[in-house]
A and B are shown apart, each in its own frame.
Chain A
């Protein structure tokens, strides 16, 4: 069975469950709204020129927060029910688990971003570009979210199986995803300012995405399972005693 099909089955499983009570979607959407209100209150008085600098930050900060929240929630469920370890014993490619979770997280986070962008455009005149150039905005949103979720999914899964604490995820996640978010930030500013280098930035962001996804999926199984290759030694190596 192909990797794509297994990833799809696992993602669909999560989505079907989510649609039963909509808990995560509702929480994430509401959280987005709350963050938006906070930003509006904090930055409404900014002059138009400064808004161009502030709006990218607002967008990607909000996405970072929603991303951390979503990842925490997705893997909390898995940890409580211990279902992740069950899937690890099934005849399923472990990387499919990664792509399944990535898909679901991406869907939720991008969905929240799709709420954020128009809302920011309504609140801040400088952000109206999001509505005027929807194709570029959507591309930027998706590419940025992929970069964030690619890394976040790996570490959230690792923490879920290593009986680590949730709080560690935030400690790890923000510094780790910041370079990718900076890329997205610069690209967003380029979009708002009508900078000609936007396409270049988007291209670079896409390349970064490809690399992050490849790296994270390569590391997924070793991180979760400690690489179950048979250990070479059956007796401890004897090391020469120091003089």
Chain B
């Protein structure tokens, strides 16, 4: 049953995405100040939320992996780490598109943008370390992920503490109900896709580990 879950999620996404696109572009009003380009917001913000959630999940899984030597935790941290890169890339691309159309500058160097970019770099280092590092570097990569996850609140704080040209989080709160309502389908669709990919990747890592163990069992069994 669990094996079918990714398929279910992708199927749900296949329905949710067209629905939310239609809803966003055809049935939601156009924002007064920023115009049509504001609609990127419906994808940019959910992706940013998902990215941060994944980063935190990766850090927690990595911490469990380190303290308990859990293979499942390690698989989860690898999968979430890689997905941080993908969603992060989407955020770092949609943000500048929105920024360029709205304020005329794609990269405004404000703290939130920079912090997201740094988060992305940290998890890129994580993925690189895992892929190309020497024998003991899985643990080091896990430590990297833990600190990367700790970085997430820093991103959140950055908006509060520093003056920034990035719209404050208040924008999300002050939307009229109709616009709020359009955010959730987009969020739901993206969560389905992300979760589906996550489960597939975790299963892949678990299978890999299982194969390694079977290999060793075969090897040692022939004693």
Q: Is the CB of A236 within 8 A of B217?
A: yes
- A1→B128 CA distance, assembly (Å): 40
Report yes or no: A155 in contact with B122, Cβ–Cβ below 8 A. Answer: no
Interface of A is mostly: helix
CA distance in complex: A177, B74 (Å): 24
Please give, as numbers and ranges, the residues of chain B lying within 8 Å of A67 by CB-CB distance. none
From DSSP, what is the main secondary structure of chain B's interface residues? helix
- Docked-complex contact A223 and B140, CB < 8 angstroms: yes
In the complex the two chains form, what is the Cα distance from A201 to B150 in whole Å?
Answer: 18
Give the distance to chain B from A68, nearest Cβ to Cβ, in Å.
14
Listed A/B pairs (9) with beta-carbon separation below 8 Å: A151-B147, A154-B143, A158-B139, A162-B135, A164-B134, A172-B125, A172-B129, A204-B161, A226-B139
Q: Is the CB of B136 within 8 A of A235?
A: no
Give the contact-size bracket for chain A. 35 or more
Set A176, A224, A227: member contacting B122, Cβ < 8 A: A176
Size of the B side of the interface (Cβ < 8 Å), in residues, is 39
A20 interface residue per 8 A CB criterion: no
6 nearest CB pairs, A to B: A162-B136, A175-B121, A222-B66, A236-B213, A158-B140, A179-B154
Within 8 A of B (CB), among A220-243: 222-224, 226-227, 229, 231, 235-237, 239, 242
Interface residues of chain B, those whose CB is within 8 Å of chain A, are 3, 63, 66-69, 111, 114-115, 118, 121-122, 125, 128-129, 133-137, 139-140, 142-144, 146-148, 150-151, 154, 158, 161-162, 210, 213-214, 216-217
B3, B133, B217: the one within 8 Å of A168 (CB): B133
B125 and A171: CB pair below 8 A? yes
